[in-house]
């Protein structure tokens, strides 16, 4: 292992910097997953996640990546050949849609420019056209990790309701959960998909489904083949904190610690912190005079900011230089943004000085890479953070 002095800045939009308290919680002897000590752990995690998702309904925990929870959302609620409505808001939205196709669903993919969230008017139109109610689910990504663009979920919900359409609302909250306000019950979402390695500050390896009563109802008539992802056995076992198959015990230790930490800070403060650090990031971006991928300020993400590099420059080279010189990992441009845009993650266990270091790394990288920009980005962020912007 090469030694780079000082702390690595892991400024991806996930995995995020895992705080020591969580790493140390994970570094504990594994226990019997059928014993009473485990039952308490499991119950604490399951109940804690209800407060994270702001739901009274059950939350499912999978030992898997968040990708698995995407699959779980689909295979538990749908049937072969069902139509689903999806939106090309970015790389991950596209992957999820492709997965739906792989699983035998028919996907109506509404094209998009990767710079906007889902337009509720388009939802309304699509559902209005669907007189036969063939569309069984609407798939929306709350925070598109590849672009730094959010979607207004309540607006999508209203569109569905106003269309009086019975489609389920499935929402990917992978990179918003724990960082941006997400209200499962209030917003009427049927299945939400979450993961451990973003706002929840854990290593990857756990994924979640928050579900509604309607989703559970739908699962009873869903005939897509499934076993690992099947909710029914999960729910039966979860009632006293256990799982139908061996859970990822050590990551659950970390999840319990994460929930304690977030609750100690208090959700309003957690969300306000992310909002403030994101706005400070954008202050730097404006000063640099670089172009953000997100176009609509009402859709700016509070967890990740994606930036174009000017024509003639390659974001890969910039990121490689920053990693080599300043020991910081930034998010790659994904899909059609590869080479053209990079991403600054500013979520999870993050604070003002970590942000200052992050922005300094970007600004020095721009300078060394010879990318045209206006200096003073870090300065602009600091002015904002001290209320002088």
Q: Which of residues 188-207 bind a second copy (CB under 8 A)?
A: 195, 197, 203-205
Rounded CA-CA distance 227/327 in Å is 42
Judged by CB under 8 A, which of 110, 261, 317, 338 binds a second copy?
261
338 lines the binding site for a second copy (CB under 8 A): no
* Of residues 51 and 246, the one with the C-beta less far from a second copy: 246
Residues in contact with a second copy, shown as a per-residue x/- string from 99 to 138 under the rule CB under 8 A: x--xxx----------------------------------
Q: How far is the CB of 289 from a second copy (least distance, A)?
A: 16
Rounded CA-CA distance 58/141 in Å is 21
Judged by CB under 8 A, which of 213, 368, 372, 374 binds a second copy?
368
Judged by CB under 8 A, which of 211, 361, 371, 373 binds a second copy?
361
Q: How far is the CB of 213 from a second copy (least distance, A)?
A: 24
Rounded CA-CA distance 255/48 in Å is 9
* Of residues 268 and 297, the one with the C-beta less far from a second copy: 268
14 lines the binding site for a second copy (CB under 8 A): yes
Rounded CA-CA distance 27/263 in Å is 22
Q: Where are the alpha helices (DSSP H) in the chain?
A: 20-26, 36-53, 66-77, 91-102, 120-129, 153-162, 213-220, 231-238, 249-265, 267-288, 315-326, 352-369, 377-385
Rounded CA-CA distance 231/267 in Å is 28
Residues in contact with a second copy, shown as a per-residue x/- string from 43 to 62 under the rule CB under 8 A: -------------------x
276 lines the binding site for a second copy (CB under 8 A): no
Q: What is 332-350 written as a DSSP string?
A: PP-GGGTTTEEEEE--SS-
265 lines the binding site for a second copy (CB under 8 A): yes
Judged by CB under 8 A, which of 13, 48, 68, 178 binds a second copy?
68
Q: How far is the CB of 209 from a second copy (least distance, A)?
A: 13
* Nearest CA-CA partner of 146 in 12, 288, 347: 12
Q: What is 60-129 written as a DSSP string?
A: EEEES-HHHHHHHHHHHH--TT-EEEEE--SHHHHHHHHHHHHTT-EEEEE---SSS---HHHHHHHHHH
Q: Are 172 and 69 in contact (CB under 8 A)?
A: no
* Of residues 123 and 330, the one with the C-beta less far from a second copy: 330
Q: Which of residues 215-254 bind a second copy (CB under 8 A)?
A: 224-228, 230, 245-251
| 3-class secondary-structure state, position 328 | strand
Judged by CB under 8 A, which of 13, 19, 42, 90 binds a second copy?
19
Stretch that binds a second copy, among 51-59, 156-164, 298-306, 363-371 (CB under 8 A): 363-371
Tell me if the bond preceding 101 is cis, omega within 30° of 0: no
Stretch that binds a second copy, among 1-9, 50-58, 186-194, 210-218 (CB under 8 A): 1-9
């Amino acid at each position: 292992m090469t030694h780079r002095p000082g702390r690595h800045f892991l400024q991806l939009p996930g995995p995020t910097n895992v705080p020591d308290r969580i790493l140390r919680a994970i570094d504990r002897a594994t226990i019997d997953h059928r014993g009473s000590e485990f039952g308490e752990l499991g119950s604490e995690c399951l109940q804690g996640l209800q407060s994270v998702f702001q739901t009274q309904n059950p939350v499912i925990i999978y030992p898997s990546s968040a990708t698995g929870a995407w699959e779980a959302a689909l295979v538990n609620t749908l049937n072969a050949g069902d139509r689903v409505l999806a939106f090309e808001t970015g790389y991950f939205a596209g992957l999820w849609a492709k997965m739906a196709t792989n699983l035998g669903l028919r996907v109506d993919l509404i094209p998009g420019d990767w710079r906007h969230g889902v337009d509720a008017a388009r939802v309304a139109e699509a559902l209005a056209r669907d007189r036969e109610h063939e569309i069984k689910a609407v798939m929306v990504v709350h925070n598109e990790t590849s672009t730094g663009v959010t979607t207004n979920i309540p607006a999508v919900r209203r569109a569905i309701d106003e269309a009086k359409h019975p489609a389920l609302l499935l929402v990917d909250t992978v990179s918003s959960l724990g960082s941006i306000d997400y209200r499962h019950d209030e917003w009427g979402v049927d299945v939400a998909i979450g993961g451990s390695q973003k706002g929840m500050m854990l290593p990857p390896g756990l994924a979640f489904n928050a579900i509604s009563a309607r989703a559970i109802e739908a699962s009873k008539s869903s005939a897509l083949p499934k076993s690992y992802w099947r909710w029914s056995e999960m729910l039966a076992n979860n009632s006293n904190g256990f799982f139908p198959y061996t859970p990822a015990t050590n990551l659950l230790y970390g999840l319990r610690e994460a929930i304690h930490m977030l609750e100690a800070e208090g959700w309003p403060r957690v969300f306000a912190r992310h909002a403030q650090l994101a706005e400070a990031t954008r202050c730097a971006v404006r000063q640099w005079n670089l172009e953000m991928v997100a176009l609509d300020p009402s859709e700016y993400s509070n967890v990740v900011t994606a930036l174009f590099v000017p024509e003639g420059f390659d974001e890969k080279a910039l990121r490689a230089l920053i990693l080599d010189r300043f020991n910081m990992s930034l998010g790659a441009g994904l899909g059609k943004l590869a080479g053209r845009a990079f991403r600054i993650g500013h979520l999870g266990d993050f604070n003002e000085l970590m942000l200052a270091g992050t922005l300094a790394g970007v600004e020095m990288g721009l300078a060394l890479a010879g990318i045209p920009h206006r200096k003073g980005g870090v300065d602009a962020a600091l002015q904002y953070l001290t209320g002088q912007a």
